[in-house]
Each structure stands twice: as C-alpha cells, then as structure tokens.
Amino acid sequence: MSWVLAFVGFAALILLHELGHFLAAKAVGMQVEKFSLFFGPMLVKVQRGETTYGIGPIPLGGYVKISGMNPAEELPPEAADRAYHRQPVWKRIVVIAAGPAMNLLIAFVLIWGLFAFKGQADPDPAQARAVSAVEAGSPADGRLRPGDRIVSIDGVRDPQRFPDAIGSHRCAGEPADGCLAATPATVVVERDGAERTLRIRPFYDAENERSRLGFSYGYPEGYEPPYVTLPAGEAAVKSAEGMWNVTRLTVETIGRLFYDSQAREEVSGVVGSYEATRQAFSFDTTRAIEILALISLSLAVINLFPFLPLDGGHIFWALAEKVRGRPIPFSVMERAGFVGFALVAMLFVLGLTNDIGRLTGEGFDIR
C-alpha cells in the first residue's frame, strides 16, 4: 500500500505544479495544446476543446505545451495572437511562476495543516531521564545500564541541572585529563521497577573542561511526546518560518555542491525522494506528509533557479527582455540553456548515484 500512496503523492505534486501553469495560461488567454502527466508519448489521451490531456510512460515529471513557446514555431493565423512569445512580459511571468507558486502553496497548506490539526510536539523535559548509552572505560561503565531511569543526582531531580550537579565534583588540586573527582556523586536510578542508589566518582574531561560520569541520557525508548495544536494564525507564522529556513538551507546546499563533497553526498533525486516517502507512509502518515511538503517546497525553490529549462530561466529571460526593451534572440537563450541543462543533468546524475548507494547500502534514515 505504501508504494501506491507514495506514487499518488508524487503524481499529485507533479499534476498540481503543471495545473498551475495550465490555469494561468488559460486565464491570460494563451493557447494550451497539451497537458500531460509524466513524460513521453501519451499512452492515454483525450481531447477537450483545443487541449489534449494525457498520461505519459515516464514518471519523472509532466508538462504543459503552450503554443509559441519557441519563437520560431510556425502557427496557424488563428493561434498566432495567443502564442506565448506574442504575449506581454507580465503574462509570461505569471504563467511560468504559477507552477512553483502552486508548489509553495501546497507546502504551506500541508505544513499549516499539521500544525493546526496534528499540533506541535511538546515533550516534557522531566521525562528525559533514560540512560541511552554508557561510555566504555568511564566511571559509569559497569555501574549504569542503558534503560536505567535517572531519578536524581546529588538530590537534583531536574535533568537540565544534572551536568551542573556532576560538574560540582572536582579533582583534588589542579585538574588533569582523566583524573577522578575527590568526592563521588550520588546517583539514584530506577531499574527493573526498583530504585538503586549508586555512588560514582566523576572524571575530568579536559576537552569539555568539566567533570563527567560517562553516560548519555534522553527520553526513554518508545516515549511519545504529547502534541499541542496551534491557533490558525500561529500555525501560519510557524509554517512560513519553517519554509523560509528550508529555502535558505536548500540554496546554501546548491551553492556548496561546487566545493563541498559532503554536500554532494547529501543530494537526493527522484528515486530517493520516492523511496523516503514510501517508507514514511509505511509507518507514519504524519511523517510522510512532512516529506511531501518538503519535496513540494524543494521543487518550487529549485525550479526558480534562473537557468533554462527551469521555470526560473524563463522568468529571467522575460525580465531581461523587459529591461532591454526588445526580445532576446532565441539563439542566445538556446546557448544559455545548454549551461542550465548541464547543471540540471549534473544534479539528476548526482542524486540518482546517491540514491542507488542508499538503496544498496545504508538506507534512507527517515525516522
């Protein structure tokens, strides 16, 4: 079932993106020849008015064919006045921007819905008391066990104050790395339903410049924090803030691809996005909706980069025409399009290579 849900989710994102272009083109009077979900020759198609609607065999995107996208295209006289390149710049920008705008709207609605109806996680800090790991060779090794629930340390019951309680135990004289504190910390733990009192001498960690016992703690396994729903206005603000942060990080990551190998390893493509969504649907619908919202937002951001054949490239050249005062030669746009196509191809190959590595290796850690 998760395969079907993931496929439907991706198809919906593609369909709605192209629907944005389609509705805007119709609204400003352009002629739309084709509306296709997926690429390739249409396997199924139906004619409605002047537009052919269909489904292609390659599920990597979709397209809307508007008459006159290529200035050299020959059109019958009755369609020439409605051709894309015959329209004012503002109409062309509206049509092209409508696709990414639809993706932004989808992302906003999905995230807003999660905040308004599912709510925001509100974990209780007092529950963050379970020992999650014990450092080998540390004073806690052999004394504390993963799963122990820390009740108190030196009488302190607030987990946020545990480090201060442990840090109050110091080595005699000038502290040296690894020296044991002169006094032990009194650690009360709950284990197997009973409380146990342990007295453990912390050691001094020179790198962190404080005394430690050598364990990490957090929320117990299986802990589910309560969710608090947000008012509509606050949910909208939270959604906008989150989308802005993701947009900023996406742009920064794209920029880092040219000099940072770690950033290149983080790129994911269509295969990875689909698989992550499928896995999310298999265990948590909320998580799947979050991933679809992020994918929709990423589609909008990447599509707005100013390179042909991306939507942002068409917007860039339309604005350039407006500034120049006359049309840009199509040959110039074609040459610039090779650069954009090379960048898009690079991202596709990089993402596909990483996805294959994840499918055959460490997986898609989405939990």
| Tens digits of residue pLDDT in 112-145 | 999 999 888 777 766 677 888 899 999 999 999 9
The mean of the pLDDT values for the chain is 82
Question: Rounded to whole angstroms, how far apart are CA atoms 99 and 105?
Answer: 10
Among 99-103, 290-294, 330-334, the least confident range: 330-334
Cα–Cα distance measured from residue 348 to residue 273, given in angstroms and rounded to the nearest whole number: 12
The whole-angstrom separation of Cα 59 and Cα 40 is 9
pLDDT for residue 255 is more than 80: no
Q: Please compute the mean of the pLDDT values over residues 335-355 and round it to a whole number.
A: 68
Q: Would the pLDDT of 200 be above 90?
A: yes
Output the pLDDT for position 354: 56
State which of 10-19, 75-84, 94-103, 210-219 shows the largest mean pLDDT.
Answer: 94-103
Return d(Cα 30, Cα 18) in angstroms, integer: 15
Q: How many CB atoms lie within 10 A of CB 292?
A: 24
What is the reported pLDDT for 275? Answer: 58
Cis peptide before 309 (omega within 30 of 0): yes
At 51, the amino acid letter reads T
Cα-atom radius of gyration of the chain, to the nearest Å?
29
- Which class is 125-218 in CATH? mainly beta
Beta strands in the chain (DSSP E): 32-39, 44-48, 51-55, 58-66, 120-121, 130-134, 149-153, 185-191, 194-200, 203-205, 210-212, 215-218, 227-228
Percent share of the chain, pLDDT over 90: 30
Q: Token match 């060779």: residue?
A: 137
Evaluate if residue 260 carries a pLDDT over 90: no
pTM: 0.70
pLDDT, position 364: 41
* 195, two tokens: 């409380």
Instruction: Give the model's pLDDT for residue 3.
Output: 66
Task: Check residue 89 and give its pLDDT.
Answer: 92
316-336: burial string, b at 16+ Cβ within 10 Å, e else: bbbebbeeeeeeeeeeebeeb
pLDDT in tens, 302-320: 888 888 888 898 899 899 9
- Give domain limits for the chain: 2-31+67-120+229-360, 125-218
pLDDT category at 15 given cuts 50, 70, 90 is confident
Can you tell me the distance from the alpha carbon of 267 to that of 367, in angstroms, rounded to the nearest whole number?
A: 18
* pLDDT for position 144: 92
